[in-house]
């Protein structure tokens, strides 16, 4: 009466459905990854640009991975689940990378569109202060175009 | 028990990780995974300075669902934001006072904040009392703080316990 599962899985209608689903997911994933790059290109300051890449990984890469998982599960004998690992590692590393880059930028006082958080917070507690007793060290000035820094000139 | 198996949750995760890596569940791989899940936490114990106990795992699971859903929804809104006129975006820093304590909980919260679009955690004060967040649309800082506190921090507070 009812067809065995294996013949359902190889029926042309089933594989057509899988292919449509996979293609849709790939297009969605590519679109969001592309938008991440567009954000990188269009946004105006360093901190805003950080948003692009961290976001592209979540939805863009996420749906590409789901597509991969579905495709290889439908093809192969068993479930293909190690895409979960790719997502897991990306979700762990992307925010940490963004955080470190932002922290480095704050340390160099790269100014964003909306200024900087109060110096007292960054200096007094967060970033290690140079010892005032020690011989004066030349302040490392970032030779970056973004850093037209009135704060540094004031002190 | 704690001497031999210092981090049961980590062990469980490592076992799952191993099985996913080899992409098969056979008796051999299961045994190998069990050995790894037992040995790795034992030999990296000194690295894990702060420990947490999961008091309410269901709350954590629910948080995972909330975060996944928020990622989906907020991705769309950020996509709309960056594809529209750029002048309409007013980015800014928001200082979020933290109630969660301990390395694990704070880093979990910071990661969640970065993964949910519109906000990236950029700085943590040395006493771990304040997290500075960069928001793509910072017109209403109170709303951002509210979302972080109620949607993400509250479940972490309820579910995790510093040991």
Q: What mean pLDDT, rounded, does chain A reach?
A: 73
In degrees, rounded to 5, the angle at the alpha carbon of residue A141 between the alpha carbons of residues A140 and A145 is 150
Q: Are B133 and B109 in contact (CB under 8 A)?
A: no
Give the model's pLDDT for residue A24: 94
**Tell me, what's the pLDDT at B50?**
63
CB-based contact B95 A91, cutoff 8 Å? no
Examine the domain organization and report whether B145 and B82 are in the same domain. yes
| Rounded distance between C-alpha atoms, residue B156 and residue B150, angstroms | 10
- Please indicate, yes or no, if residue B1 is contained in any of the structural domains: no
Residues of A in Cβ contact (< 8 Å) with B80 = none
> Model confidence at A26, in pLDDT bands (50, 70, 90)?
very high
Residue B2 included in any domain: no
Interface of B with A in 130-159 (CB under 8 A): 130, 132, 134, 136, 138
Same domain for B20 and B96, yes or no, is no
Task: Tell me the ipTM for this assembly.
Answer: 0.78
Give the span between the Cα atoms of B11 and B99, in whole angstroms: 28
Residue B82 has pLDDT above 90, yes or no: no
Does B134 lie in the same domain as B94? yes
Q: What is the pTM of this model?
A: 0.72
Question: Do B99 and B22 belong to one domain?
Answer: no
Of A32, A99, A103, the CB nearest to B114: A99
Based on the fold, state whether residues B43 and B64 are members of the same structural domain: no
> Is the domain of B68 the same as that of B39?
no
Indicate whether B61 and B127 sit together in one domain.
yes
Q: What is the pLDDT of residues A71-114, one digit of tens each?
A: 888 887 777 778 888 888 888 888 888 888 888 888 887 777 77
**B81 and B15, same structural domain?**
no
Cβ neighbours of residue A138 closer than 8 Å, sequence gap 6 or more: none
Both B80 and B135 in one domain: the answer is: yes
Q: Where are the beta strands (DSSP E) in chain A?
A: none
Average pLDDT over residues B114-131: 82
Q: How many distinct structural domains can be found in chain B?
A: 2
pLDDT at residue A144, rounded to an integer: 46
Residues of B in contact with A35 (CB under 8 A): 79, 82-83
Q: Are A84 and B20 in contact (CB under 8 A)?
A: yes
Would you tell me which residues 70-129 of chain B have a C-beta closer than 8 angstroms to some C-beta of chain A?
Answer: 71-72, 75, 78-79, 82-83, 86, 89-93, 95, 110-111, 113-115, 117-118, 120-127
The string of pLDDT tens digits covering residues B24-75 is: 778 888 888 888 888 888 887 777 666 667 778 788 888 889 988 888 887 8
Question: Element (H or E) spanning B93, and its range?
Answer: strand B92-97
- Residues of chain A with Cβ-Cβ distance to B71 below 8 Å are 58-59, 62
Residues of A whose CB is below 8 A from B20: 81-82, 84-85
Annotate A37-73 with DSSP letters as a single string.
Answer: HHHHHH--SHHHHHHHHHHIIIIIIHHHHHHHHHHHH
Structural domain boundaries enclosing B77? 52-162
Q: Closest Cα of chain B to A45: distance in Å?
A: 9
Residues B40 and B56 in one domain: no
Q: How far, in Å, are A32, A35, A137, B51, B118 from residue A67 at the CA level?
A: 14, 19, 54, 37, 26
Tally the residues of chain B.
163
Whole-number Å distance between alpha carbons of B132 and B138: 12
Q: Which residues contact B102 (CB under 8 A, 6 or more apart)?
A: B50, B52, B160, B162
Looking at the structure, do residues B91 and B31 belong to the same domain, yes or no?
no
């Amino acid at each position: 009466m009812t067809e065995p599962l294996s013949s359902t899985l190889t029926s042309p209608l089933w594989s057509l459905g899988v292919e449509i689903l996979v293609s849709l997911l790939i297009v969605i994933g590519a679109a969001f990854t592309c938008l991440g790059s567009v954000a990188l290109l269009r946004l105006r300051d360093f901190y805003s640009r950080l948003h692009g890449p961290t976001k592209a990984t979540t939805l863009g890469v996420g749906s590409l991975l789901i597509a991969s998982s579905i495709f290889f599960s439908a093809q192969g004998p068993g479930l293909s689940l190690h895409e979960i690992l790719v997502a897991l590692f990306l979700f762990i590393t992307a925010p940490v990378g963004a955080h470190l880059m932002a922290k480095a930028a704050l340390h160099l006082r790269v100014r964003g569109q909306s200024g900087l958080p109060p110096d007292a917070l960054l200096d007094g507690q967060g970033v290690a202060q140079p010892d005032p007793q020690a011989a004066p060290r030349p302040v490392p000035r970032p030779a970056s175009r973004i850093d037209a820094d009135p704060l540094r000139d004031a002190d | 028990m704690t001497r031999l198996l210092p981090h049961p949750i980590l062990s469980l995760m490592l076992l799952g990780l191993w099985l996913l890596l080899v992409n098969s569940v056979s008796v051999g791989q299961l045994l190998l995974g069990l050995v790894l899940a037992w040995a790795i936490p034992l030999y990296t114990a000194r690295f894990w300075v702060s420990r947490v106990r999961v008091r309410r795992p269901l709350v954590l699971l629910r948080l995972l669902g909330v975060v996944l859903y928020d990622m989906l929804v907020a991705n769309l809104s950020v996509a709309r934001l960056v594809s529209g006129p750029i002048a309409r975006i007013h980015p800014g820093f928001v200082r979020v006072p933290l109630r969660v304590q301990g390395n694990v909980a704070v880093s979990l919260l910071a990661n969640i904040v970065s993964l949910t679009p519109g906000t990236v955690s950029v700085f943590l004060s040395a006493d771990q009392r304040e997290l500075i967040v960069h928001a793509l649309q910072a017109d209403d800082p109170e709303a951002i703080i509210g979302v972080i506190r109620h949607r993400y921090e509250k479940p972490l507070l309820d579910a995790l316990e510093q040991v």
